[in-house]
Amino acid sequence: MSIADDKAHAAEPIMAAALDWIASHGLTELTLRPLADKVGLSLNALTQAMGSKEQLITRVIASAMAQDAAFRDLWLRRVRAMAPIGRGMRAVLAETILDDWVVRQRGPACLLIDLIQEAGRSGTCSPALSAWLDEAGAFWAEILFDSLRQADAALGYIIDEAGFSLFAHDNPAYRMIRALCLHRFTGGLFPDPDEDIGKGRHLEQWIAALEPEQTYPDTPDRSKRGLIAAQAGHLIVTHGLEALTHRSAAAAAGTPASTVVYHFGTRDELMVAALHAVVTNFRHGLAENFGQPRPFYANYASSRDLVRATSIIAIAAARHPGLAHHALDMRRRRGENFVNSVLWEMGLPRGRIGDRCTSQVASVAVFGMRMVAMARGLDEHQVLLAAFARLAEVCG
């Protein structure tokens, strides 16, 4: 074995530990000293082996991409050996592969979502992330549609759904919602009277099963507590979840830190209130502008925080189990504003009547595509219109 091979072999447990740390805490929380402690090395030994933090992250990303590529190649060989494959079986395959990805490839999955969120905030997409997104999009397009033309929609859908699957893959109600939506996604978005009788009703049943005991109002809280939560929410979606502390929220709200602590005793309480404030403020604005010619998906300036917030709370729930029911509440409410006229404006066949399942599928795809478009610095409107024009080809 060469010296280079020896070094690569020695780095493997460090890479594995780093990915495990990212899955549990987030990319921004990856620092050298805790990682050194985790792998039983001194800080000096770790830096000699891996270099600076920036060099470490570069190597971890390359390692995760290689793992993800091997994972996709394995599944492509399995899927291609099954050809030809019908639409219904593609939905089953997608659900199976998605479960395999978020469970056995949890580190790379979390890292990819973290990188998408960070690139969306910074406006800088690295060549490595761009290549990873290209490869993942081609893979999921083949699995879901056997067509590379659907790469944007396929990747968007999976990236958004994966955030929830990371923490809820063993929740029966969520699994049923996901299965029904994937079946509809591969089957053409709109209900088929001969095959989809009752699917919308079944979806509503499982959505109801996820309804939380505590619900949140659709009217913004104008109290001091509510104003602090709103400023904290803006801080999260613009700087990331790691930027939120009682002190930073106090600075954003122009109030003493003691006041923030009085209203929100723990950081988790502050985080939940902040993310719900983002959602509530958007829904309130949507209600006030009801009937305006621009539908939800086109209100990019006002809805961008909502898109980011739902992605953030999903990945946060994978790291903080106490947030799971809050994240699932957001997942179950997907598609509430995607009425038929909005679907038609997005480019789906006019006159076709969708149900709640159609709306949920469209919503998940839109949220994911917008996250990826933001990460890549692309025009969200053009990405969505082009993707839905291609989706119209599979509507049947």
Instruction: Supply the pLDDT for residue 63.
Output: 94
Instruction: Supply the pLDDT for residue 325.
Output: 86
Instruction: Supply the pLDDT for residue 6.
Output: 45
User: What letter does residue 215 receive in the DSSP assignment?
Assistant: -
* Length reported for the chain: 396
pLDDT by position in tens, the chain (length 396): 444 444 555 678 888 999 999 999 889 888 888 888 888 888 888 888 888 889 999 999 999 999 999 999 999 999 999 989 999 999 999 999 999 999 999 999 999 999 999 999 988 999 999 999 999 999 999 999 999 999 999 999 999 999 999 999 999 999 999 999 999 999 989 887 665 555 667 888 899 888 877 666 667 778 899 899 989 888 888 888 888 899 999 999 999 999 999 999 888 888 888 877 877 776 665 555 444 444 545 566 668 888 888 898 899 899 988 888 888 988 998 888 788 888 888 889 998 988 999 999 999 999 999 999 999 999 999 999 999 999 998 886
Q: Do 234 and 216 contact (CB within 8 A), yes or no?
A: no
The Cα–Cα gap between 327 and 257 comes to 27
The Cα–Cα gap between 395 and 354 comes to 11
Lookup: tokens for 70: 């091997």
The Cα–Cα gap between 270 and 136 comes to 35
**Own/partner long-range contacts of 82-85 (Cβ < 8 Å, ≥24 apart):** 85/146
Lookup: tokens for 63: 């390692």
The Cα–Cα gap between 104 and 71 comes to 10
Q: Which helix (H) or strand (E) holds 36?
A: helix 32-39
The Cα–Cα gap between 146 and 149 comes to 9
Amino acid letter for position 235: L
Amino acid letter for position 12: E
| Domain extents in the chain | 1-84
Q: pTM score > 0.85 for this model?
A: yes
Which residues have a Cβ under 8 Å from the Cβ of 89 and sit 6 or more positions away?
82
Closest CA to 159 of 101, 207, 203, 232: 101
Residue entry with tokens 């280079």: 4
The Cα–Cα gap between 33 and 159 comes to 31
What's the mean per-residue pLDDT of the chain? Answer: 87
Amino acid letter for position 135: E
The Cα–Cα gap between 394 and 117 comes to 30
User: What letter does residue 214 receive in the DSSP assignment?
Assistant: S
User: Domain 1-84 classified CATH 1.10.10.60?
Assistant: yes
Closest CA to 284 of 342, 230, 363, 220: 220
- Cα dihedral across residues 251, 256, 261, 262: positive or negative: negative
Instruction: Supply the pLDDT for residue 4.
Output: 41
* C-alpha distance from residue 29 to each of 105, 146, 162, 240 (Å): 19, 38, 21, 12
Phi, psi at 85, each rounded to 5°: -125, 130
Q: What is the torsion angle, in degrees rounded to the nearest 10, for the CA atoms of residue 42, residue 44, residue 46 and residue 50?
A: 180
